[in-house]
Amino acid sequence: MVILITGISSGFGKAMAERLSKDGHTVYGTYRKTDTFIQGVRYLKADVRDEESVRAAVAEILKEEGRIDLFINNAGMGTGGPLQFMTTDLAEEQMDVNFMGMIRFLKYILPGMTARKKGRIICISSIAGLMGLPYQGLYSASKFALEGYCEALRIELRPFNIKVTVVNPGDFSTAFTSKRIKPDDAKIETLYPGYMKSMQSIESDERRGLNPERLAGKISKIVRKKHPAARYIIAGPIQKMSVFIKKLLPPRWFDRILSLYYKM
């Protein structure tokens, strides 16, 4: 299987590229900056925000392989902070990377898949795409956008035998935590006195989260399935339960639970 994964420099992308390559697949991955390369994986320098680099990356694979069997949308970035202090520039960057990046790639990948009437798409979303997380509102918004997009995409592509799967990870220990962009404004602590405590709790949970190799192992199993499910939640018991509870409780009750959980 010819696979393209976006964002393989670290975290989920790196773990998936390594695992799927070991499984015997031909794996291509995009990166912006990296100093470590996985043997057997073919690296393509591309920025999901740059249309031309996206086009060139897909064109190179099609020139070498003639097709892309599976596209894994993984590249992403995170923001954290009260929404009142998140700038429009930061909101645009968050959506550009996490949401528009997938649209740019599929613009060049889908024509081949629909022509062959065969293909697979896996989108790495998040638990944050299923519930609006406090102090991660922009990040949640970008993942909510992916959720709606993939739901419509799955229905539209069904006649072409193209399967679309969304994966929702919970807390994992990756470089995502240290790279999160947060506003620097002295007024935040005055207006939101619990902000720092909440962010410390959020980032502590992430650092103690699951190993990315666990997600890579699950992706390996999903790839082997003839009829994969529309969604897979890969998280610890509490976070899995939170998704179920959200469906049952009135919004104000669930809001209260999230507030307590995030020490607000």
Residues with a catalytic annotation lie at 9, 125, 139, 143
Fill in the amino acid letter for 259: S
Distance CA 83, CA 69 (A): 39
Fill in the amino acid letter for 19: R
Tokens of residue 149, six digits = 């997009």
Nearest to 46 by CA among 34, 56, 35, 59: 56
Distance CA 124, CA 13 (A): 10
Write the CA distances from 152 to 129, 157, 168, 216, integer angstroms: 15, 9, 17, 26
Q: How close are the terminal C-alpha atoms of the chain, in Å?
A: 47
Largest CA distance in the chain: 58
With beta carbons less than 8 A apart as the criterion, state whether 120 and 68 touch.
Answer: no
Distance of CA 200 to the CA centre of its chain: 22
The dihedrals phi and psi of 169, each to the nearest 5 degrees, come to -75, 150
CB-count exposure of residue 83 (10 Å: 0-12, 13-18, 19+): middle
